[in-house]
């Protein structure tokens, strides 16, 4: 059975849920948008913080925390962003870290987005 995680994040007009849970695994993709649905300004650091805040919020709404993450896939639009993403990421997480991959891609769904994260977490439900 698949269930959705109800969050307080911006209600996207796109056909999606911010997170679903199936077989005890949370599936989510997070982007750097605020409560109004706008991509935050301030460059890669501000966008990474917003994305991590959205991820943390989603996990909390599912009854878990960042320590339940099992894998994170990070997408950035420029390789030079990775050191900043790593710095912010490390402020939110501690060892043992989840498995992780980082990909440099040509663009994301919204042109002004510099980062997106796909994450999986173990959820006790």
Mean pLDDT of 80-104: 98
Q: Map out the domains of the chain with their CATH numbers.
A: 2-122 (3.30.1330.40)
In contact, 11 and 20? CB cutoff 8 Å: no
Amino acid 71: pLDDT: 98
Decide if pLDDT at 45 tops 80.
yes
Give dist(CA 81, CA 10) in Å, integer.
Answer: 25
Amino acid 83: pLDDT: 98
Amino acid 103: pLDDT: 98
In this prediction, what percent of the chain has a pLDDT beyond 70?
99
Amino acid 125: pLDDT: 55
Decide if pLDDT at 20 tops 80.
yes
Amino acid 52: pLDDT: 98
What is the helix (H) or strand (E) element at residue 44, kind and residue range?
A: helix 43-61
Q: Can you read off the two tokens belonging to residue 125? A: 């439900």
pTM for the full predicted model:
0.96
């Amino acid at each position: 059975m698949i269930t959705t995680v109800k969050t307080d994040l911006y209600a996207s007009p796109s056909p999606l849920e911010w997170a679903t849970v199936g077989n005890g695994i949370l599936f989510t993709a997070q982007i750097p948008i605020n409560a109004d649905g706008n991509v935050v300004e301030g460059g890669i650091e501000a966008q990474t913080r917003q994305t991590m805040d959205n991820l943390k919020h989603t996990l909390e709404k599912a009854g878990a925390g960042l320590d339940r993450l099992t894998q994170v896939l990070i997408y950035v639009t420029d390789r030079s962003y990775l050191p900043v993403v790593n710095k912010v990421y490390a402020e939110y997480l501690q060892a043992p870290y989840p498995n992780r991959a980082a990909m440099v891609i040509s663009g994301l769904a919204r042109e002004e987005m510099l980062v997106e994260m796909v994450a999986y977490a173990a959820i006790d439900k």
